Amino acid sequence: MTTTPEEALEQAALAGIHRLPVPTPFAIGKVNAYLIEDDPLTLIDGGPTTAAALDVLGESIAAHGHSIEDIGLILLTHNHFDHLGLAEIVVEHSGAEVGAFGPAAERLANYDAEAAADDEFAVELMLRSGIPEEIAIALRSVSTSFRGWGATVQVTRPLADGDVVELAGRRLEVFFRPGHSVMDTVFWDAERRFGFVGDHLLPHISSNPLISRPLDGSPGRTRSLIAYLDSMAKTRELPEGSLLFGGHGEPIDDHRALIDTRFASTERRKEKLLRLLGEGPRSGYELAQSMWGNIAVTQAFLTLSEVIGHMDILVDEGRVREVADGAVIRYEAVA
């Protein structure tokens, strides 16, 4: 039986859970924070570091009879600035604990340095993928300008996969679900069959499995799409009839059907990219241009993450191999 978004949010409200849409300066629109009326009063994610976001967050919490100063615990689903930017400001007002995936704590505590390292990593990946240097440098400048919407946050309650966050009236199980980011975390209320999934699963768009530096500091890059497919397979095993509350958009009432759609889309895109390689070896950038045209320039890192992720799958299947062409990596189909 289909649950409408309004019915899902009503069910959540009856359980003391309120969605708080917070404005962002990004094309995706508002980000969803969630207020859990329990002891401690808990906030899941928050929003970017803008005055408008802080004002709306405060007003939304007040509409439910509380204030930012009342927050006792902040839980973070992942490290992207539209979700974590306000966390430290909330801590300054409330003294709240911050719970987040433990291995990401150092990265969250050193936001500026880690963001700069991410930019260096992205430029190197773009150049290795055949993007002209002037485009890579321009996109790095854009990324640098975005940093102000995020901020350092000190994790005081490191969490691990399988942990349980105990509130007075509920238990939230902690599931590590990397792919969209290196620290995607799902908080699962088994009693109510509610899940708070951040950007791990979104109803209206596929969550981009962005290639990243490994969280453990090891060299190389993540195989983000492969990790994401594995994470979605685990999330698919949640019970039917669950309601999943994401970081953008409306609640998800049939997560298995949505995940199956994502799997099918990945398979189609993989085969299309393989067909493009039938015309000869291509760099990641050349494949992205063939798939998305000008978007491959304006959204270069995003589209490269898509292409390279699908190439990782094809390499594992033995259908594609990487070939070094000077400083650029190209992909060719295996006969």
Render 199-257 in DSSP notation, one character per residue: TSS-SSSPPP------TT--SS---HHHHHHHHHHHHHTSPTT-EEEESSSS-BS-HHH
- More confident of the two residues 324 and 295: 324
The whole-number pLDDT of residue 193 equals 97
What are the two backbone dihedrals, phi and then psi, of residue 17, each rounded to the nearest 5 degrees? Answer: -120, 125
> What is the C-alpha separation between 283 and 130, in angstroms, rounded?
6
Render pLDDT for 62-79 as a digit per residue (tens, 0 to 9). Answer: 999 999 999 999 999 999
The whole-number pLDDT of residue 140 equals 82
For the segment 234-258, the average pLDDT, to the nearest whole number, is 97
Provide the mean pLDDT of the chain. Answer: 94
The whole-number pLDDT of residue 2 equals 84
- More confident of the two residues 34 and 150: 34
The whole-number pLDDT of residue 296 equals 63
Q: How confident is the model at residue 271 (pLDDT cuts 50, 70, 90)?
A: very high
5-110+152-253 CATH: 3.60.15.10
CA angle 248, 251, 255 (to 5 degrees): 105
Render pLDDT for 22-54 as a digit per residue (tens, 0 to 9). Answer: 998 887 889 999 999 999 999 999 999 999 999
- In sequence order, the β-bridge partners of residue 17 are 36
Report yes or no: 23 and 58 within 8 Å, Cβ to Cβ: no
The whole-number pLDDT of residue 165 equals 98
The whole-number pLDDT of residue 194 equals 98
Q: Which pair of tokens denotes residue 279?
A: 């015309």
Question: Hey, what's the torsion of the CAs at 212, 268, 135, 279, to 10 degrees?
Answer: 120
How far is C-alpha 78 from the chain's CA centre?
6
For the segment 95-124, the average pLDDT, to the nearest whole number, is 94
Q: How confident is the model at residue 91 (pLDDT cuts 50, 70, 90)?
A: very high
What does 93-133 look like in DSSP terms, one character per residue? HH--EEEEEGGGHHHHHTHHHHHHHHHHHHHHHHHHTT--H
Q: Which pair of tokens denotes residue 112?
A: 């500026």
176 contact partners, CB below 8 Å, separation of at least 6: 101, 160, 161, 183, 184, 185
Render pLDDT for 189-241 as a digit per residue (tens, 0 to 9). Answer: 999 999 999 999 999 888 889 999 999 989 899 999 999 999 999 999 999 99
Q: Where do the CATH 3.60.15.10 domains begin and end in the chain?
A: 5-110+152-253
279-333 CATH: 1.10.10
Q: Output DSSP code: residue 194.
A: E
Render pLDDT for 172-190 as a digit per residue (tens, 0 to 9). Answer: 999 999 999 999 999 999 9
Q: Where do the CATH 1.10.10 domains begin and end in the chain?
A: 279-333
The whole-number pLDDT of residue 1 equals 60
Give the length of the chain. 335
> Taking Cα atoms as reference points, which of 219, 215, 153 lies closest to residue 178?
215
For the segment 279-284, the average pLDDT, to the nearest whole number, is 94
What are the two backbone dihedrals, phi and then psi, of residue 130, each rounded to the nearest 5 degrees? Answer: 95, 10
Q: How far is CA 89 from CA 30, 74, 116, in A?
A: 19, 11, 22
Percent pLDDT > 90 in the chain is 81
